[in-house]
Amino acid sequence: MATERALEMATDIASYRNDFPVLKTKMHGQSLVFLDSAASAQKPQAVIDAMNRVYESGYSNIHRGLYEISQNLTAEYEAVRGKVADFIGAPSEKSIVFTGNATEGINLVAQSWGKTFLEEGDEIILTEMEHHANIVPWQMLREEIGIVIKTIPFDESGVLDLKTFESLLTHNTRLVSFVHISNALGTINPARKIIEIAKDFYPEMRVLIDGSQGIVHNVVNVTELDADFYVFTGHKLYGPSGIGVLYGKEELLNEMPPFKGGGDMIEKVTFNKTTYKEAPYRFEAGTPPIVEVIGLGAAIDYVSAVGMENIAAHEAELLAYGSEKLSTIDGLILHGTAPDKAGILSFTMKGAHPSDIGTILDQCGVAVRSGHHCCMPLMERLGLDATVRASFGLYSSKDDIDQLVKGLHKVKELFS
Ligand SMILES: Cc1ncc(COP(=O)(O)O)c(C=O)c1O
């Protein structure tokens, strides 16, 4: 079934590629082969058009103006909240908070929920494969209130050790916060299973999922997962930068104090006392990223029309093809070979540093990421300082992978 869909997708891929104007540009005089979608995805014309349309023919501030364009844009902005809720299977648009990015969503939970519900000695569990966005906010909280941070290790292939996870749970554990899909290894973590283990141990346990990559590569249903919080960022989902989403269970969000104060999030302000709006509005202080929200809505319409299952099947096909092709390159070591994996290939090559590989590939028109991918503890665990990462988007093709392989042969020529 998945293969059938992948085949359909493969025949359609040329037309999808044409939706992304930047893919027609050249890099060093060669057709751009963009293999850095895990860092940020390219934008389809539909997203660019939706944002331009607002700036050209209907821009104003929202939630304030009594005039027509402000009222229309307010309605359009709020409709995106419902669209996001439907897209992730959330029961209500009231559980959708617009943030600046995934990082801000996690900081919001750490500062608002963390400072309200955690105290000195309480334990939280992360994994060794977290992005810094799901490490540093908790360390900042640790400095402020003295929580304890534990981590779930992963094995050689990049699979989390759930037995150790179970042994880390104690009567002081209050939160498990983990990455849905690793941006550095591609591992798809068994989110439902992790939540089941956590909530079987202690039903009041809270679980946050960093869905920055998870939202991009397959269908997500936060209700089926029973996640308490799910965060993601718009720019990896073919939408604009500057917009992210924090999903939180509505009753939980309403128990949490605001994260930032200012206009638009209040009910009443006096110099003696201020009262706040209900969630999600109490978390959206100041003028929000209005046009970015409209862009995110257009991105969701776009990927929904393509079909998240189709995108997943297409990327699975590319992953199989890419893994096979890279395995033929002598001296290349693939990092992250979990059986359940998304379209991310992280590797090193004997005798060539990842930044040299990235620079040579750039000269060949191939854009990849070289570095620690904001996962320094993961790199330390692998005994590396960096990898090269090629990551796919819905517009990626086997030709892109062939270009990558050609570039890697050039690296070999130069470094052997
Ligand atoms: C797994 C993961 N978490 C968090 C982030 C942070 O996303 P943002 O910088 O948009 O907040 C990223 C981005 O690379 C990521 O891949």
Identify whether residues 199 and 331 lie together within a single domain. Answer: no
* DSSP single-letter state for residue 298: H
**Percentage of the chain surpassing pLDDT 90?**
95
Residues spanned by the domain of 61: 48-304
Residue 18 binned pLDDT confidence (cut-offs 50, 70, 90): very high
Q: Is 177 in the pocket of ligand 1 (CB under 6 A)?
A: no
Query: Do 70 and 184 fall into the same domain?
Result: yes
Q: Are 103 and 237 in the same domain?
A: yes
Confidence of residue 13 (pLDDT cuts 50, 70, 90): confident
Reported as a single tens digit per residue, the pLDDT across 81-113 is 999 999 999 999 999 999 999 999 999 999 999
State yes or no: pLDDT of 1 exceeds 50. no
Q: Are 292 and 240 in contact (CB under 8 A)?
A: yes
Mean pLDDT, rounded, of the chain = 96
Residue 161 inside a domain? The answer is yes
At residue 409, what is the residue type? H
pLDDT for the residue 237: 98
**Does residue 206 share a domain with residue 171?**
yes
On whether both 94 and 243 belong to a single domain, the answer is yes
104, 127, 138, 183: residue to mutate for ligand 1 pocket, most atoms within 8 A of CB: 183
Q: What is the pLDDT of residue 373?
A: 96
Quote the pLDDT of residue 6.
53
What is the per-residue pLDDT across 205-248, written as a single tens digit (0 to 9) for each? Answer: 999 999 999 999 999 999 999 999 999 999 999 999 999 999 99
Q: Which atom of ligand 1 is nearest to the CA of 101?
A: 11
Residue 158: pLDDT above 80?
yes
Q: How far is CA 37 from the centre of its chain?
A: 11
Q: Identify whether 416 is part of a domain.
A: no
Is residue 27 assigned to a domain?
A: yes
Same-domain status, 262 and 319:
no
Q: State whether 249 and 117 are in the same domain.
A: yes
Looking at the fold, whether 177 and 268 belong to one and the same domain comes out as: yes
Catalytic-residue membership of 374: yes
Claim to verify: residue 79 and residue 100 sit in the same structural domain: yes
Residues 224 and 113 in one domain: yes
Identified catalytic residue from 108, 188, 216, 374: 374
* Residues sharing a CB contact under 8 Å with residue 36, sequence separation 6 or more, in sequence order: 367, 368, 369, 389, 390, 391
CATH of the domain at 211: 3.40.640.10
pLDDT of residue 152: 98
Rounded to an integer, the average pLDDT of 365-375 is 96
Q: Decide whether any atom of ligand 1 lies within 6 Å of the 99 Cβ.
A: no
